[in-house]
Structure 1
């Protein structure tokens, strides 16, 4: 059995067809142009929802990278301390490394004089 409805043909007795009255304009239909308010609103909702999803994914990826960055900073600090310990053990004075390493050397000497450095 077919679910489709058949066509209704209004025919006069003389064999001519009756013109069906066209329905009035649809709600949201403007002046014959095919712009509806509903699809525009749905598009705006879709853009906002898509932006929220993209922002959520970016935030989750950034939060995943925080522990990795902290671990890398900790490893870098430990490597710096190890190198400084080895340099101090070998009696190396950091004179050619510029003001930063000179300041580190001064801090290490001050710790050694205070008895907190065992190098």
Structure 2
């Protein structure tokens, strides 16, 4: 079982890679644009202060939505774009994410 710190770091790595992929493909930049940098900073801050890290798998599965509405909209857009593309660019992370999602859904039923 992963420690809370390990889970937190993994979540931050995955979010960062998804935001980087989004910015590269949508904004045609090799580095993060100011808007994407702001979303990444916000997501990392939310992850650093999450009191539910021990029991949750992903923010989307959390009962408490701590993102401000405008940031929630932005991160959803990023996830919708980057999620399917992660299979091409980061296949191990994508498959791991899918397996955890399926496992959590099976556990809830």
* Shorter-chain TM-score above 0.5: no
| Higher RCO, Cα 8 Å, sep 6+ | 2
Normalised to the residue count of structure 1, the TM-score between the two structures is 0.24
Normalised to the residue count of structure 2, the TM-score between the two structures is 0.26
Higher Cα radius of gyration = 1
